């Protein structure tokens, strides 16, 4: 248990940031699921639209420190290549 005032404050800040980061992660995963569902149905237009909507969310995750930039780059690359092959 936190004993000093500083450690008590840090514990509260950690709880708050954990809740915020959890909500942000959940939001990003929701957007990713929309892209996955559009790819699964084979609808290229819906998949492309979902991909355009997920990109800023992923970048926001990078800027907020939730995701690593290379992780996001890899996810975007793989998703965009999957959307691109839908039409072929």
Q: What is the CATH number of the domain that holds 35?
A: 1.20.58.110
Q: What is the mean pLDDT of residues 53-58?
A: 96
d(CA 78, CA 67): 16
pTM for the complete prediction? 0.85
How much helix, strand and coil, in percent to the nearest 5, is found in the chain? Answer: 85, 0, 15
Q: Tens of pLDDT along 9-21?
A: 999 999 999 999 9
pLDDT at position 87, please?
A: 74
pLDDT band at residue 88, thresholds of 50, 70 and 90?
low
Q: Using CB atoms within 10 A of its CB, is residue 75 exposed (0-12), middle (13-18) or buried (19+)? A: middle
Residue 58 structural domain: 5-84
**∠72-78-60 over CA atoms, to 5°?**
25
For residue 41, pLDDT over 90 is answered with yes
H/E stretch holding 52: helix 44-63
User: How many domains is the chain partitioned into structurally?
Assistant: 1
């Amino acid at each position: 248990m936190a004993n000093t005032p500083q450690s008590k404050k840090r514990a509260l800040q950690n709880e708050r940031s954990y809740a915020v980061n959890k909500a942000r992660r959940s939001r990003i995963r929701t957007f990713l699921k929309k892209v996955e569902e559009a790819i699964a149905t084979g609808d290229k237009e819906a998949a492309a639209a979902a991909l355009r909507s997920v990109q800023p969310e992923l970048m926001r995750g990078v800027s907020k420190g939730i995701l690593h930039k290379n992780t996001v780059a890899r996810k975007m690359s793989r998703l965009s290549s999957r959307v691109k092959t839908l039409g072929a």
